Structure 1
Amino acid sequence: MTALAERDSAPPTPEPASPRPRPVWVRPALAGLLLVTAVLYLWGLSASGWANAFYSAAAQAGGESWQAWFFGSSDAANAITVDKTPAALWVMGLSVRLFGLSSWSVLVPQALMGVGSVWALFAAVRRVSGPAAGLLGGAVLALTPVAALMFRFDNPDALLVLLLVLGAYCVVRALEKASPKWLALAGVAAGFGFLAKMLQAFLVLPAFGIAYLLAAPTSLGKRLLHLLGALGAVVVSAGWYLAVAELWPASARPYIGGSQTNSILELTLGYNGVGRITGDEVGSLGGAQSDGSWARLFGSEMAGGIAWLLPAAAIALGALVWLTWRAPRTDRTRAAAVLWGGWLVVTGGVFSFMSGIIHPYYTVALAPAVAALAGTGAVRLWRARAHPIASGLLSSGVGLTALTAYLLLTRESTWLPWLKYVVLLSGLAAAVLILVSDRLPRAGARVVAVVALVGSLLGSGAYTVATAATPHSGAIPSAGPDSGGFGGFGGRGGPRGGGVGSLLITTTPSAEMTALLQADAENYTWVAATVGSNPAASYQLASGFPVMALGGFNGTDPSPTLEQFQAYVADGRIHYFIGEPTEINSTGGSDAAEEIAAWVAATFTATTVDGVTVYDLTS
């Protein structure tokens, strides 16, 4: 009896974690998953128009000017760059060059990155836990609402996620035979992830490094040496661009948007670096946030995009640690738990407690870790369900997922009101049946598995489809039905007034306004200038000619100065100024754009074109 009790209380022995030959059903199942993902991410893609016009305008500029393409300029005349490193714009700019400027040429690369991310996640999870876990993980990623949002949008997050998942795959390969080559490739992927969205890409590096240090099948000295080489790969693949941009003569390149000193190092370490953690972001339009906690991921802004399977992922992480507690150091299941769990904990912790600028769509960076943990944990616990702890953990995960989905769906009072009850009842029923599933015939157990799968994914899947079916535009999109996001105001005309709202608005200029900008456009370097990158992008995309974004994204960068702008006007390089004097109220940023607007209003005569204030700077 004692021996039996000890056997029942011990974790089940983990299964071997080496890649096996694929069963015949895997290839068609994977093809089906990728096909469904492609349809979900591509169908009706052009309904979002330019999506984030800020990046679409930069892609337009990159399609016309190689210098604008390399530096990520907002316009082809190279006044100022976007406030990120330009890797994502390199992809979109090349697409615009190949296929011409359109909503499809800008957005299709993002959707294909989504399909690639699902494929790469499947490959990474399969090599450790088998094809069933890989397919489930891929399906969870595809059906995460914030993933559907960002893989149908033109922000840099799509490329960031793809590169980080590829990096995780390389770490998994490196762990198999302690391969310095594969580990270095993981470093290259993270380095190019930096070129997509700067320091956010490095949040996964602790997980990558600890997983390899703990589990690589070689001596400690070699593990440390391999990690040092991978770190060098990160530095080289990310640092070469910083060196070029910093050493390039400032007079021969566009101003580095988002910085106050025309320095990409300042942008990296300040506005897009430490400032995001502390809230001390010079030039931002809002102060530091003080509401940081783990509850932020379940708050009203972020929950709909990512929270659906977060509790299940946490349970899966604990379950994988339990399953491999007595395994050898080199056990790759435990290494995978460290890899994906570390990714989730570090990135999720930073998003939860950072005091600087954060938007709900950032949580797409959590989606691969959630998906990998959910897929791996569910399959491993299902196979070990004869053990009462394993069945209890699996049942808890399914039940908690159903409850989470129910609570999230109650926030959508008018959208499919019956869905929350179906999700809750099916999930709770599956949670109960899992506890006895090991005693059922094989066919009965399969039915339980299907009910559990449907109950766990129905809520997030429906919300994902609704997200994909809803056009999204503007600077800050959010997941869910009929949620265009702050900044997606559409309509005709242009910004009428000042402050934060007008700087985030993207509009569709009227035909009269567009014709005005296009008249004699070839005679000017910039057909117009206006405060802020989003208003400038609207006019640039409509007219097809460069529009100067005074002050960059927030209107708070010292580019150009009043003296520089006056020189441009004196030389006849700018045709119109659009807008009125405005007070931006930034956090310590430059007021050069405000000075320019005031000087224009005091010096030139205002006219109105379809409700928009316009100054002819050549009169």
Structure 2
Amino acid sequence: MTSQNPGPLVSAEPVSAPWSGSVAAPRHAVPSGEGAGAPGPGRAVRRAVFGAPGDPRWARPALWGVLALAAVLYGWALSGLANEYYAAAILSGTRSWKAFFFGALDAGSFITVDKPPFALWVMGLSARIFGFGTWSMLLPQVLAGVAAVAVVHSAVRRALPGTPGHAAGLLAALVMTLTPITVAINRDNNPDTVLVLLLVLAAWFCLEAVRTGRTRTLVLSAVLVGLAFTTKMLQAYLVLPAFASVYLAMAPGTVLRRLGRLLAAGAALVVSSAWWMVVVDLWPASSRPYIGGSTDNSVWDLVIGYNGLGRIFGGTRGAGGMPGGLPEGLPEGAQRGFPGGGGGFGGTSGAGRLFNDILAGQISWLLPFAVIALVAGLVLSGRGSSRGTRAALLLWGGWLAVHYVVFSFAGGTFHPYYTTAMAPAVAALTGLGGVLMWQAYRESHAWSWALPAGIAITGAWAFVVLRRTPDFVPWLAWAVAAATVAGVAGLVLARLGRRLRRRTAVVALVAGLVAGLAGPAAYALTPLGSPVNGTNPTAGPSGSRGFGGMGRPGGMRGGPGGAVDQKAIEYLRKNRGSATWLVAVGSAQSASSVILSTGLPVIAMGGFTGSDPAMTVDRLKQLVSAGQLRYVMPGGERGGPGGGGDSEVNAWVQASCTAVTPAEYGGAEGDASLYRCG
């Protein structure tokens, strides 16, 4: 076998390391025609379209194409109000700055949602400017998703010198764009989209801090992680082990200097993470909303309990965070979507969770290739590549490893869309490692097997995932198998043969790319043709989505509980009088739907699950006597879905208030019980 190079598909001209501050111009640079060097709008337009002088001519237009694809996938045919729980809070925030600041579910600020409010602020500001609606609420999510793709591209491109960096960045951006669960969540109003953008920005600045050693850049990275904490609490901190260890190991300066900068960044992290929490917990409880999801009306309990250790180790709230276990009437098979039924919404915890029937089609397509790319990339980047490449591989590899362990073994509530936080790492490792393996394939006989092996394993896994739902695009699995065989065989023949080696390698590389991306691309298209499942958004055929693919059994749009009849809502509006709240109901589902249909404040006595101890008898008496509340629609006993917080509250309502019969508002017998208390 000859080791002669079959010819570069990616320009291999000499360049200086990207961390040295200068890069030599590649062969295909932006033309220096009229206006290329002259100031003015023409130069700015050319730079925007073709990139900076020295960039390959294809690089910037290709990036624009990927970003346009992301915008279409994330924004096409958006409809509905996604997760009504968050939508109600966003609407309420447009009616009250107090509700906006606290992230209250209702404009009267009785109880907050069970997450910190940063993502709600982003969507809420848009809704305040443009008026509340589907597009004003979800457009910031679409833009955040597209921006995250662009940031990942930039971070990966800067990690490799010259044209290979542009190729790696483009591949990473394409993988990020086509990750199925990312497409699904970026069309939704859950906070994960904003979380991912903040974290990839933090990664960009962390890598820049490793390159330059500048304290302010590292501090800015820490502040972005802190803002991510104010978006989704402790999940934001999963990137910290990778960030801190890479900086400590590879940043310029002595170890003491690096430790000092890390301490400064740590202080910034604490301040940017804790400021809202401290303000809220110091605020007099009597003049702020109850902290939804907490057991003692404090953000600290929410951080450590429901949104912290409870997610990792599980809790006592029952399945899926629901008091008393599973809701009744779920379709056959839906019980596996809850912790009490053998796992979270993402299935039973364990090393294979991310490859199970529910999650495999959402995130796992390129996980094996990313691991191969990480290992091969670290070995290959030690053979003369810049330390920037190694730092990037270690950072994204650490990001992926920590998320894999936590997501695989978490024993509490686990939704498939949490895994969108893994997409940047999978994309970056695929881009960086893929290009490094391609370069090694061309230049090294010893490493010529790595890329074919990666394509073979990726194609085989894609075939397995696709065959789990044989009715979904039935021919696709076999097309992927054929593309995999063609890609692997072509790469092997290109190394062994003496003629047409470059052309064979090009065709094989394209076939391998098709084999790796056809499956996720097919899944990524499915959310565009179906209504958003706000509680558990997923992509792909319904049979692969677990609970998320079964629609909304039991009305699970905004938490457990029953809906309020439209005739009852009209009755309440006519008889509300001067009360602050239209009605008090058992849980967030009922409250959210009424808030969205009326725009009026509604109390969710038991929060999202119906089990929060937000409403007490004394508090209810106070609201009724002050004329702030006239009507109550209690749920069941605490421990059941829609419980409304406390059986004592229900008993007081039944004993002290007047029952409104369904006949008074034109309802049907068997409708939820309504009581007039004032």
| TM-score past 0.5 threshold | yes
**d(CA) in 2 for partners of 1:522, 1:71:** 26
Secondary structure in 2 matching 1:592: coil
- Aligned equivalent of 1:548: 603
**d(CA) in 2 for partners of 1:557, 1:110:** 29
CA contact (8 A) 1:341 1:369 kept: yes
1:139, CA displacement in angstroms? 0.6
Match of 1:339 among 395, 410, 422: 395
- Aligned equivalent of 2:46: none
- Aligned equivalent of 2:18: 18
1:413, CA displacement in angstroms? 2.8
Match of 1:277 among 292, 312, 323: 312
CA contact (8 A) 1:111 1:152 kept: yes
2:243 alignment partner AA: F
Match of 1:227 among 225, 239, 262: 262
- Aligned equivalent of 2:199: 164
- Aligned equivalent of 2:648: 595
The count of corresponding residues between Structure 1 and Structure 2 is 598
After superposition, what is the alpha-carbon deviation per residue over 1:202-223, rounded to whole angstroms, capped at 9, x for unaligned? 0000101111112113222221
CA contact (8 A) 1:507 1:538 kept: no
Larger Rg: 2
1:389, CA displacement in angstroms? 4.5
- Aligned equivalent of 1:185: 220
**d(CA) in 2 for partners of 1:507, 1:22:** 58
1:437, CA displacement in angstroms? 3.3
- Aligned equivalent of 1:91: 122
Q: Does 1:138 align with 2:177?
A: no
2:582 alignment partner AA: V
What RMSD, in angstroms, separates the aligned Cα atoms of the two structures? Answer: 2.9
TM-score, normalising length from structure 1? Answer: 0.90
CA contact (8 A) 1:503 1:531 kept: no
1:471 alignment partner AA: P
- Aligned equivalent of 1:533: 588
**d(CA) in 2 for partners of 1:566, 1:123:** 58
- Aligned equivalent of 2:423: 367
**d(CA) in 1 for partners of 2:489, 2:17:** 29
- Aligned equivalent of 1:9: none
CA contact (8 A) 1:127 1:172 kept: no
**d(CA) in 2 for partners of 1:90, 1:355:** 30
After superposition, what is the alpha-carbon deviation per residue over 1:87-135, rounded to whole angstroms, capped at 9, x for unaligned? 0010111111111111111111111110000000000000012111001
After superposition, what is the alpha-carbon deviation per residue over 1:259-284, rounded to whole angstroms, capped at 9, x for unaligned? 11111111111221122222235683
1:584, CA displacement in angstroms? 2.7
Q: Does 1:558 align with 2:613?
A: yes
After superposition, what is the alpha-carbon deviation per residue over 1:327-362, rounded to whole angstroms, capped at 9, x for unaligned? 58x712111111000000001101111222211111
1:546, CA displacement in angstroms? 0.8
1:572, CA displacement in angstroms? 3.2
Match of 1:246 among 281, 304, 310: 281
Q: Does 1:467 align with 2:523?
A: no
CA contact (8 A) 2:638 2:646 kept: no
Q: Structure 1 163/215 Cα, relative in aligned 2: closer, same or farther at 3 Å? A: same
**d(CA) in 1 for partners of 2:588, 2:261:** 43
1:510, CA displacement in angstroms? 5.8
1:239 alignment partner AA: A
Q: Structure 1 114/583 Cα, relative in aligned 2: closer, same or farther at 3 Å? A: same
Match of 2:633 among 550, 574, 578: 578
- Aligned equivalent of 1:455: 515
- Aligned equivalent of 1:175: 210
- Aligned equivalent of 1:376: 432
- Aligned equivalent of 1:604: 658
Secondary structure in 2 matching 1:124: helix
**d(CA) in 1 for partners of 2:373, 2:469:** 28
1:436, CA displacement in angstroms? 3.4
2:65 alignment partner AA: G
Q: Structure 1 168/18 Cα, relative in aligned 2: closer, same or farther at 3 Å? A: same
CA contact (8 A) 2:393 2:429 kept: yes
After superposition, what is the alpha-carbon deviation per residue over 1:389-445, rounded to whole angstroms, capped at 9, x for unaligned? 433221121111112211111222322111111112212321222233355443332
After superposition, what is the alpha-carbon deviation per residue over 1:230-260, rounded to whole angstroms, capped at 9, x for unaligned? 1112111111112111111111111111111
Secondary structure in 2 matching 1:192: helix
2:133 alignment partner AA: S
**d(CA) in 1 for partners of 2:549, 2:504:** 50
TM-score, normalising length from structure 2? Answer: 0.83
CA contact (8 A) 1:503 1:555 kept: no
**d(CA) in 2 for partners of 1:467, 1:391:** 38
Q: Does 1:54 align with 2:108?
A: no
Structure 2: which 5+ runs fail to align?
Answer: 5-11, 24-53, 326-338
**d(CA) in 2 for partners of 1:177, 1:327:** 20
1:292 alignment partner AA: S
Between 592-601 and 133-142, report the one with greater CA deviation. 592-601
1:228 alignment partner AA: L
Secondary structure in 2 matching 1:523: coil
Between 72-81 and 602-611, report the one with greater CA deviation. 602-611
Alignment of 1:69-218 (within 5 A): 69-129=100-160, 130-218=165-253
- Aligned equivalent of 1:297: 354
1:591, CA displacement in angstroms? 7.6
CA contact (8 A) 2:535 2:557 kept: no
- Aligned equivalent of 1:42: 75
Q: Structure 1 543/561 Cα, relative in aligned 2: closer, same or farther at 3 Å? A: same
**d(CA) in 2 for partners of 1:80, 1:135:** 44
Q: Structure 1 460/196 Cα, relative in aligned 2: closer, same or farther at 3 Å? A: same
Q: Structure 1 246/504 Cα, relative in aligned 2: closer, same or farther at 3 Å? A: closer
Q: Structure 1 594/402 Cα, relative in aligned 2: closer, same or farther at 3 Å? A: farther
Secondary structure in 1 matching 2:159: helix
CA contact (8 A) 2:586 2:645 kept: no
**d(CA) in 2 for partners of 1:367, 1:281:** 31
Secondary structure in 2 matching 1:308: coil
CA contact (8 A) 1:399 1:427 kept: yes
- Aligned equivalent of 1:353: 409
Secondary structure in 1 matching 2:661: strand
Between 199-208 and 106-115, report the one with greater CA deviation. 106-115
- Aligned equivalent of 1:615: 674
Structure 1: which 5+ runs fail to align?
Answer: 5-11, 496-500
Secondary structure in 1 matching 2:636: coil
Secondary structure in 2 matching 1:605: strand
**d(CA) in 1 for partners of 2:261, 2:436:** 30
Secondary structure in 2 matching 1:380: helix
1:16, CA displacement in angstroms? 6.0
1:590, CA displacement in angstroms? 9.6
Match of 2:375 among 310, 318, 322: 318
